[in-house]
Amino acid sequence: MKVLLISSFPPSPHNIGGPSALPYYLSKYKIDKVKKIDLIYFEGYEDKENYFLSGLPSIYSNIKKIRRSNGFDTFIYRILRKLNIKFKYIGCTYIDFPQKAIINEIIKEKYDLIWIYPNTMYAWYDYLKSNYKVVVTGPDCASLSHKLVDEIFTDNDKKKLELKGSKNSKKRSWINDINWSKSNALIHTVGKEDNEYFKIMGANEHSFFSLHPVSTFETIKKNIVDTTEKLTIVITGVNYSIYMGFFLDKIVDQLLINNKLNEFYKIIFIGKNFEQVANKLIKSGYEINYLKWVDSYEKAISEAQIQILPIIFGSGTKGKTLCAMASGLLCIGTKFAFENIEINTNEDCILINNEMEVVDSLFNIIKNKEFYVETAKNASKKVIEFHNPIKTSELFWNSIVHHFNL
C-alpha cells in the first residue's frame, strides 16, 4: 500500500509548538501492509528543523516541503470569510491551502491512500476526493472544543484569555466538521468524546478513535523516596491559555497561604506566561527555576519527581501528560489532564478538582512517599504498555485497512 501524508505541520519525534509527534509515530510504526509513505509538509518551521529533519528520511520515502499559501492564492476565500458568508472552505486554514501544481503531481502518483493532518485542511480532501480514498486525523473535534469552551469559561474569562469563542469562529468550525462528517473520508481522532461528536454530526460509519502514542521520554533521575533534598515539581505549557485558564493562579494563591511547603518542594516552570506566578512564589520563599525554552523537554522534566497539570479544558489527548507519566513522574491533575489515557485515575495519579486539593496532595506526598512512588510506577507501566507506538499504530492502520478494504 502506497500512502501520501499531507501535513500542515512537519512530523517530529517531539511536540514543539507546531511540529507534531502524532503523525510521526503513526508513520514510523506503520504495519507491513503499508509499503511506503510519502510526505508533503509546509514551510515555516525552519528554526526548529534540527529537532525533526534528520529523522524524516528513515520514515518517509519521498519528502516535499512546499511554500505556504499567500494572500493572492486565497484572496477570494479570505474576503468571503471576512464577510462571514457561508461556503465550504470557511473552516480551513489558508496558509496551507492546496496549490494546483501540487494537486496535479499527487494525482499522477496513483496513491492507494491520502492521509491528511489536521482536519482544518478540508480543501485538500475536496480537491482529491474524486481520485483517492482519504483518512483525516483530527486530532480532535473543533465543534466539541467550542461547546466545552462555552461550558467552562464565562464571557469575561474569554475576553481576558482572548479565546476564539466567537460566534463566527464556532460557525466556521461547525461547517468544517459537518463537511468532514458528510464526506466519504475516514475520520480519526485521539479523543473518545471527539469521535462520538463526529458521529452525532453524521460520521457514524466513518469515524474512529485510537489511543495517542507516547512519544520519546527520559526516565526520571530520582524518584520521591530517593530524593534527599527538596522534591522538584514541574509545571509546563502556556499559562493563561485555553487549557489552563486562571487555575494555576488559584493554585499559587494556596501555595502562598501554605508556604510551609517551600521547605519540602522547589518548582520548575517550562513554557510561557509564568513570570507573574513565579515571582509571587519567589517572594514567598519558594525556590523557583523558570525556563521559557529547553532544548530537550524530556530531559528537563526528568529532573523532577512530580508534575502538576492545571488543565481546565480538554479535548483529544494531552501528549505532555503521557510523556510525564511514562517518565515516572507522579502526576497531579484534573480529569481533563488524564482523559483518553489508559490509566485508573483513582490509583495511578492524583486526581484533583480544585486548588485546595493540590495543596492537600502535596502535604500527603511528604507523609506517604513510598505509596506515591508506587502510584507513579503504576502509571508509567500502563502508559508505556497501552500507548506503545507500535500498538497504537497497528490499531490506526488496521482500522484504515478494514474500513477501505485495502
308 bridge partner residues = 332
301 and 186 inside one domain = no
Residue 360, CA atoms < 13 Å, CB-side half-sphere? 9
Residues 6+ apart with CB under 8 A from 68: 42, 43, 44, 95, 96
Q: What are phi and psi of 323, to 5 degrees?
A: -60, -45
Residues 6+ apart with CB under 8 A from 369: 224, 225
At 399, is the secondary structure helix, strand, or coil?
helix
Q: DSSP letters along 208-220, please?
A: EE-PPPP------
118 and 133 inside one domain = yes
Residues 6+ apart with CB under 8 A from 209: 188, 189, 190, 191, 192, 194, 195, 340
127 and 249 inside one domain = no
Buried b / exposed e over 51-84, threshold 16 CB at 10 Å, is bbbeebeebbeebebeeebeeebbeebeeebeee
Residue 232: CB atoms within 10 Å: 23
Q: Where are the beta strands (DSSP E) in 140-286?
A: 186-189, 207-209, 231-238, 265-272
Per the domain annotation, does 220 fall within a domain?
no
Closest CA to 163 of 239, 242, 240: 242
* Cell output for 170: 464556532
Q: Let me know how long the chain is.
A: 406
60 and 114 inside one domain = yes
At 22, is the secondary structure helix, strand, or coil?
helix
d(CA 189, CA 212): 9
382 and 394 inside one domain = no
d(CA 250, CA 359): 11
158 and 295 inside one domain = no
Closest CA to 309 of 366, 375, 233, 370: 233
209 and 299 inside one domain = no
Closest CA to 361 of 327, 332, 389: 332
283 and 301 inside one domain = yes
90 and 205 inside one domain = yes
Q: What is the CATH number of the domain that holds 261?
A: 3.40.50.2000
At 37, is the secondary structure helix, strand, or coil?
strand
Q: How many domains does the chain have?
A: 2
Per the domain annotation, does 72 fall within a domain?
yes
d(CA 329, CA 303): 10
Task: For residue 45, give its domain range.
Answer: 2-213+389-404
Residue 365, CA atoms < 13 Å, CB-side half-sphere? 32
Per the domain annotation, does 222 fall within a domain?
no
pLDDT in tens, the chain (406 residues): 999 999 999 999 988 877 899 999 999 999 999 999 999 999 999 999 998 999 999 999 999 999 998 878 888 988 988 888 889 999 999 999 999 999 999 999 989 999 999 999 999 999 999 999 999 999 999 999 989 888 888 888 888 887 755 678 889 999 999 999 999 999 999 999 999 999 999 999 999 999 999 988 999 999 999 999 999 999 999 999 989 999 999 999 999 999 999 999 999 999 999 999 999 999 999 999 999 989 899 999 999 999 999 999 877 788 889 999 999 999 999 999 999 999 999 999 999 999 999 999 999 999 999 999 999 999 999 999 999 999 999 999 999 999 999 9
297 and 207 inside one domain = no
